[in-house]
Structure 1
Amino acid sequence: MTSRNSDSTGAESTDPDIRMAYQSITLQGSLNWLVLTYGKSCLQWSPALKLVAAGSQGLPELKQFIAQSEQSIFFAFLRVFVDGVTCFATITYIPEGTSGLRRARTSVAGRTVQSWFKGPQATLATSHLEDLTASAIRKAMPFTPVRPVGIARTSSEAPANREKTLPRAPGSVTRTASEPATYISMRGPPNFGDPSTRSQLREAARRSSEAEDRAALREEAARQARIKWLREEEARKAVEEEGARRAQLERDLARSAAMRMARQEEERAEEERRTRERIERRRRDAERRAEVARKLEEQRLEEVRRLEEAARAEEELKRKALERRDAARFAGVKRRRESRLAGDSLLLSGWVTVQNAESVTWRRRYFQMTDTLIRFYNKDKDVAGIPVDVVVLKDAKPSVKEWYEGFEELRAIPHSFALILGSGESPMMLFSDTNAEKDLLSGLLMTCP
């Protein structure tokens, strides 16, 4: 998933449909679930996640949609009400049988989807829809929501007949060394001296206040004077800079005028020279065009002849390929009939070279084919062990494609063909050692029930 846009609700994606559905879910709108999956482009899976469905009927509707969908891998976001608590969950559904590479890619995409949906949420990954329940979502929440509880009454709301216990005052308090050494008794009024002393103290405080006011006035006057001086200095500098700017502008204008006149003279002389060269060039071009036209006509006629021959050759190759396909289908039907008569479930085994969509490397594999699947092994001695890859044919509606049916890269590879499964898997390309082996293998694939 490449730059990402974010909205006020926290969902981050370039798809506006995803953001709108996410807002409806988190803001208690009409929707309570959405489902994302990979889009499809021709025969290849698109790496972008798209909104494929959304609903308002909760977890049962979400599970029903996943169960009935033709897709295989889904990412869902859900709001569910469990035990009086609203929970949110990000769900990754990976069905059983998914290859290891696709499972790893899906896990990475799941973390990306989880980062889109902000806030506390449960994170679940499952391969069985029956494991997806409301209780499982509640258990997967990163914290346990706490229900509201009653508020305890304060002491003022206690019963009226309850006896109140008040804190006791200390007997005496002594001030610190930074304060005047005066002892204050908590059992009598404080003693601040006689009236004469109090009058002297008030007078001293008044004089100190007046001195502070005078100092503040002096500081304010000095500050205003400095501000005035700074403004005058700025005005003077502005006048000087304006004069210098005007003088420089006049010099620049004079220099520009001189340069413009010189440039105009050079342009006039250059235009005369170009006119002479243009006339001469037209004459030479006319002669050269006549020669080129003659050679091009010869090349065109040769190319037409070559293309006609190539088209005839390609049509002949396609005709032969169609004949071989009919023969291969007949051989496949015959082999299936012989297998059923003999009671053998193994239709075909042998060596083939395979290239999967996830790799650009061709790998030689030993295979065993039945009605329902093909098992691939590194060696023919490994058939008793676990295969390196399995292709399920049952209900997959496999189809065989030749090089001229959209697989031009197979044109130069003898005995090759492409296998496409209707289940949505990426195309697989194969080639056999001989045409006979290719015809039998492709014929069996074309006649799968």
Structure 2
Amino acid sequence: MSCDLSDPNILVAYNEIINFEGTNWLILGYNDTRDVISLYSKGSGGLSEMRDNLREEVLYGFARLEERYVLITYVSEQVSGVRRARALVHGRAVGALLKAQNASITASNPNDLSDVNIRTRLKLSGENGSAPTTPITPTHPDRPDSPASARRGRPASPSSSADRRTPSLSSISYDAPAPPAPTSPLPSPPLSASSKPPLSRDDAERKARKEENDRVAREEAEKRSREEAERRQAEAADRQRVEQQALESKLRDEAERRAKDESEKAQRETLKKQFVDADKLGQTLLSGYMSVQGGGSPFWKRRYFSIRGKTLYLYRDVLDKNPITSLDLAGTVRGIENVQPEVLIPNSFRLDLSTPQAAVDGGGSYYFFCDTHQEGQTIVAALSKVSGR
């Protein structure tokens, strides 16, 4: 809850009060801001004039009575609780700026700031601020106190320091030497252009505060600059790390893709050679297990298959001697398509045939899916080789 007390008029009015330049009170307020405190008013009419300038809000006052000073925090009864708490905090900052106070008082209405209350707080007595005195009577140094006074134990009538310094007319001797004639004071030598008057205490404090504020602002700026440089350096390092990881991932994926392509190419070459040799010798081109749906049946069935010559044979088991279905692939294959998006089964494909037997069986399409992707590719390659697709 810091506040702004940079209004130069505050210290101008304050110096007028403590330097006895006519002004003897001032009032500070927020002027519809949250934490900017500025000078509202000042005057030379004493406490009564200051009370006439109070408003129904949070105010700070400073007044001089005789040679003593009072700091006032005025919080109107209409002020909310939050602003009351803020006033207590800001009041300490005002007191740190207006340091000459001998007492402080918090008030919520003008009656709290009566002359009697203020003078009591400043430990002043008398209506006009001076100690009460008894009438001054001429005294003679050779005249003793009256016996009545001595009997009652009452001291002689008190007199102020000024009364003791100034003798009464009856005590002045007419043949006393005349006082020396007053002499005019010697003129002060003019200040040279290079000399500067010493700073007052308030000016020195303001200068020290300004230097401290400048130092803090400079350190904050340097800190922000360092933090910004570190943030940018960290971001650059993060970007470089991400780019390096992306490059490494790209190179790794490229290497894996090339290795996979090379492996598939080698497998195709080996498979192609096997197909050629098996075709020449009339041997089984490819065999294994895969699941089949077709031939008028809506169910998937696990079958052992064998490709020999231009025919795909399907068996219930590897031990069966006679196939349950044989599909002639010579010139009858209309297409071999990947149907994984259609049937939602991995490694699946469809074999479309155009034979009378396929029509009799209930359809010219057979669906297959294999256990692995590699097996599926191998079977599709063998079917394509045999059918000329």
How does the TM-score come out when normalised to structure 2? Answer: 0.31
Q: Which has the larger radius of gyration?
A: 2
How does the TM-score come out when normalised to structure 1? Answer: 0.27
Larger RCO of the pair (alpha carbons < 8 Å, separation 6+) = 1
